[in-house]
Amino acid sequence: MPVKGMEEQSKEQIEQVSEELFERLTLVVDKGQEPLRIDKFLLSRVVNTSRNKIQQSIDNELVLVNDRPVKSNYKVKPGDSIIFYSDNDPQTYEVVPENLPLNIVFEDEHVLVIDKPAGLVVHPGAGNFTGTLLNGVAGYLKQQQPDLDETKLPRFGMVHRIDKNTSGLMVLAKSELAAFKLAKQFFDHTVERKYLALVWGNFETNSGTIVGNIGRHARFRKLMDVYPEGDYGKEAITHYMVLEDLKYVSLVECKLETGRTHQIRVHMQHIGHPLFNDDIYGGDKIVKGTVFSKYKQFVENCFTLCNRQALHAQTLGFIHPKSEKPMKFESELPTDMQNVIQKWRGYAAGLQSTDKS
């Protein structure tokens, strides 16, 4: 969400940071600014937005002046610090309602929590115009409310997403208010998100934090990469804790502080522990272990058991956008990950007994 008149940056301090599907713009009003309604001020300063989008943000208390929500008729003054949250999803593909199975773990009039299976694409895009989670959500909501105006919900309430081959919990909004309130929580890093991941290798310490900007790979534009120094990419922070050492692989819990594209997968690869069977970031080959044929066959059998990156969004916690009560959900580890972890436990136990004898 760029700002109009970038040549005037000396007059306004601009911080532009995006998180998930929403974006935050911070402006400090310059000394020469005449009194002007906040909605007109933002419309004159921000490109790729509209009067309606600005009004939605104001109505949902997502336009803050000096850290307080304001009404549309508030007139900006020199020195005012303005924060503007806005839906910034660039995708424009039509979401066609479809009758698809959904594993709904919680629902009320404001939110919908879904346990997504691996292999299901979240939203329509190039090559996946139908059969996505959002197609199913659109069909489900249309059955509930036949006269639902789909233009009222940004992409049927999607405020975050997880990868196609990652399983686990997602929250979607069923109202404009819920969409904006949830999106703000994601941006402010107050949503609790914990993932279970099976990764290659063993760790020297049982816990740690990975810090490194994530941006598009310099050569392979569909991939992401870590840029630990410099301004390229967006800030990304992942906390991890080792739950089990399984000889050549480890079961880890990853807690997201930010939510960048492929964050856990890229961060784990960056520190030398790619996710097991991650075919994009190098986990779909033997990374640790012997070269003997029996071990190779064992690993290939494990790849067959879990034929995707071994990553599961297990815990999701947020503040309910209407009641403001804390909510927390847990998802059971899917069968494919349970099976492959159990197989590695058996392998590690066999090696341990051999070492003792």
Q: How many other CB atoms are found less than 10 A from the CB of residue 230?
A: 8
As a whole number of angstroms, the distance between CA 224 and CA 253 comes to 21
DSSP assignment of 259-275 equals: --TTHHHHHHHHTT-PB
Write down the catalytic residue from 39, 80, 87, 163. Answer: 163
Maximum distance among all Cα pairs of the chain, rounded to whole angstroms: 83
Contact predicate 304/159, CB 8 Å = no
Contact predicate 155/134, CB 8 Å = yes
Answer yes or no: 163 catalytic: yes
Q: CA nearest 348: which of 201, 249, 272?
A: 249
In the block, residue with structure tokens 């301004």: 231
As a whole number of angstroms, the distance between CA 122 and CA 291 comes to 38
Two structure tokens written together for 162: 């997880």
* Helices 176-187/51-59 angle, 10° precision: 80
| Residues taking part in catalysis | 163
